Amino acid sequence: MIPFNKPFATEKELIYIKSVLDMGKISGNGMYTKLCQTFFEENWKFQKTLLTTSCTDALEMCAILLDIKPDDEIIMPSYTFVSTALAFIRQGAIVVFADSRSDHPGIDENKIEELITSKTKALVPVHYAGVSCDMSKIMNIAQKHNLFVVEDAAQAIDNYYINSDGSFSPLGGIGQLGTFSFHETKNIQSGEGGLIAINDEQFSKRAEIIWEKGTNRAEFYRGEINKYGWVDIGSSFLQSEILAAFLFAQLEQKDKIKSKRLRIWNKYYDGLSELQEKSFIKLPKIPNYSTNNGHMFYIVCRTLDERSGLIEYLKKNNIMSVFHYQSLHNSDFYKAKHDGRVLKFSDQYSELLLRLPLFYELTMDMVELVIRGVESFFYHN
Ligand SMILES: *Cc1c(COP(=O)(O)O)cnc(C)c1O
């Protein structure tokens, strides 16, 4: 059986976790938390980062930091994970869902501006499959209308927007705030885990307070104040040192992990190109302003029946493939609150997109088997 995902561990996780136990500081904000945060700040030049228990939590921190209030409007794609919307809904906000691009599941940058009203507070682009949204377009719109930008970079670790002058901007570091996930399905993982990147000075101090249950304990530990207490709202958003130690081992291997994932991605792309040329399927498109971090390989089928048939066929051949998001504007929770607009491409990706196995330990022979499986479904079935 070729699974869809298999979480990978390097040889260092257990060694680092053992050292956490030996040091006897197991709660959050210890040595490994600092090592992970420094790693992000040095490698990707994020101004300030804080490890959280999940990307969902990091998004909740963003909604608190932006002071989102009931009736504020937040624009984001409908084709995304629940958490992107949930964080803002919990503050009482109204989520205004935008459609996907025709050529990519990410938000259609050209459909954002028509959704902006006097109540709009923030834009939340999601870098689907790790692939960058058109960030210069999005940042221009935000500036023009005085909106905040929160990048949901859950899938986009070590991936970049390519500026018109050819320079690279790390995803998650372009908006005022960015969030990452270390869920076991992501490129770099610790089972569950996340990180918030704070790219705008005005949020730095408060972020630390919200992170530490509304107290100024972080400042106290740095010796900047001589007593700490309750100063704001917040929650226990910190990650345990055990998870931070696990995560640090993964971060140290990020290049090795990414290059293997890209080899798999490229083999899928080449191997399935003929099916695309014959119009059986569409392959993922990486726009010229984005690099690729090999997070996900998906194909887009022609009909829902064909996708269901392919999933069944692959399963019979011991290959697990899975579809992905269902449009949030049609969800049981939100459909009555949605304003009724039809989001055609979001619905198309909900019905037609299929993800193929992609994980570090997937061998090239297994990739070949998956390609043959998809081919034989379309050619002989
Ligand atoms: C995985 C994911 C999340 C949630 O991450 P958790 O760490 O599981 O909370 C949010 N948004 C997107 C786009 C994701 O892919």
Is the CB of 56 inside a 6 Å radius of any atom of ligand 1? yes
Is the CB of 83 inside a 6 Å radius of any atom of ligand 1? yes
Beta bridge partners of 212: 236
What is the residue-averaged pLDDT of the chain?
A: 97
The Cα 152–Cα 83 span in angstroms is 10
Q: What is the 3-state secondary structure (H, E, C) of 64-131?
A: HHCCCCCCCEEEEECCCCHHHHHHHHCCCCEEEEECECCCCCCECHHHCHHHCCCCEEEECCECHHHC
The Cα 228–Cα 232 span in angstroms is 12
For residue 80, which atom of ligand 1 is closest to its CA? Answer: 13
**Residue with CA nearest ligand 1 atom 5:** 55
Is the CB of 68 inside a 6 Å radius of any atom of ligand 1? no
For residue 127, which atom of ligand 1 is closest to its CA? Answer: 13
* Cβ contact 119:73 at 8 Å: yes
Write the pLDDT tens digit of every residue in 9-51: 999 999 999 999 999 999 999 999 999 999 999 999 999 999 9
Nearest C-alpha neighbor of 281 from the set 310, 313, 318, 321: 310
**CA of 257 relative to ligand 1 center, distance in Å:** 19
At 50 the pLDDT is 98
Percentage of the residues of the chain whose pLDDT score is greater than 90: 96
Which strand (E) or helix (H) includes residue 148? strand 148-152
pTM of the model: 0.97
* Res 381 pLDDT > 80: no
Helices and strands per DSSP (H, E), number in the chain:
12, 11
Is the CB of 360 inside a 6 Å radius of any atom of ligand 1? no
**CA of 116 relative to ligand 1 center, distance in Å:** 25
At 227 the pLDDT is 85
Provide the 10 A C-beta neighbour count for residue 55: 27
**Residue with CA nearest ligand 1 atom 2:** 154
Write the pLDDT tens digit of every residue in 280-318: 999 999 999 999 999 999 999 999 999 999 999 999 999
Is the CB of 126 inside a 6 Å radius of any atom of ligand 1? yes
Mean pLDDT, range 229-254, rounded to an integer? 97
**CA of 178 relative to ligand 1 center, distance in Å:** 12
**CA of 188 relative to ligand 1 center, distance in Å:** 13
For residue 155, which atom of ligand 1 is closest to its CA? Answer: 15
Is the CB of 62 inside a 6 Å radius of any atom of ligand 1? no
The Cα 8–Cα 2 span in angstroms is 15
Write the pLDDT tens digit of every residue in 132-176: 999 999 999 999 999 999 999 999 999 999 999 999 999 999 999
